[in-house]
Amino acid sequence: MTRYRVEPGSKVDLAEWDPGDRGDGGKKEGKSERAELRERLDELQALLYAEHRHKVLVVLQAMDAGGKDGTIRSVFEGVNPQGVNVTSFKVPTELELDHDYLWRVHRHTPGRGELTIFNRSHYEDVLITRVHGLIDRDTCVRRYAHINEFERMLTEEGTTILKFFLHIDRDEQKQRLQERLEIPRKRWKFRRADVDERKLWDAYMSAYEDAIAATSTDWAPWHIVPANHNWYRDVVVVRIIVEALEALDMRYPEPEEGWESATIV
């Protein structure tokens, strides 16, 4: 999966990343692999929770209808809810606005043994704020540095950070937004604001390119995931997570002393 990793210091041109990429196999093989990887993820998450040593943060960013919710449902379908947290970041509250922009984020980062998923994240503060002119370029650049140091601190304190940009093209977004109008069970997701934000597509692409290039680091790299095809998106994301968890070389804790002589009556 290294081909989807953004090398630190490299320039990012999203036009060079194919959102329709389906890898080297077909859909049937991909779904089978996804099922196997989800079982392995379930095992590793249980081990993460039991060992109570490491922390894992998964960051999901995407354009509207990019598949963040679907990724969470599909990839983490079999994991034990105990030890897994999902946090969504909406418009800041008055209390949150009274603090620095990272304040509301830091308190949701994972503790030992936890796997936390950010559905949107602190990156909103260098994306939507930039596109809508709420911050200037100097502030945006300064925030890139803040975020890099924030993530460095988290990793030095034992957090593994995995960042995914779910990359769809404009035509795919149009189709998915249209489905929210046409399919009754999806209408609850429709927001008029999504239509307005779609008009800013080019500005968002530019903002994502700059943010990803500036904040893909050795300690917290970005992965640009082809997301036009949900099944392949899921395969890429779950495989990267499984590989990262396996690299932690986790072990179950030793049993309590005297366990071998215990008698259950």
The CATH number given to whatever domain includes residue 238 is 3.40.50.300
pLDDT at 25: 84
Closest residue by Cα to residue 64 from 160, 208, 253? 208
258 domain residue, yes or no? no
Please give the C-alpha separations between residue 135 and each of 131, 138, 142, 150, in angstroms, as whole numbers: 9, 8, 11, 19
264 domain residue, yes or no? no
Domain span at 68? 2-249
106 domain residue, yes or no? yes
Judge whether 30 and 232 are in contact, CB under 8 Å: yes
pLDDT at 162: 98
pLDDT at 265: 83
35 domain residue, yes or no? yes
Domain count, the chain: 1
257 domain residue, yes or no? no
pLDDT at 122: 97
Q: Which residues of the chain have pLDDT under 70?
A: none
265 domain residue, yes or no? no
User: pTM value?
Assistant: 0.95
pLDDT at 29: 94
260 domain residue, yes or no? no
pLDDT at 256: 86
| Strands 159-167, 55-62: pairing kind | parallel
124 domain residue, yes or no? yes
Distance of CA 50 to the CA centre of its chain: 23
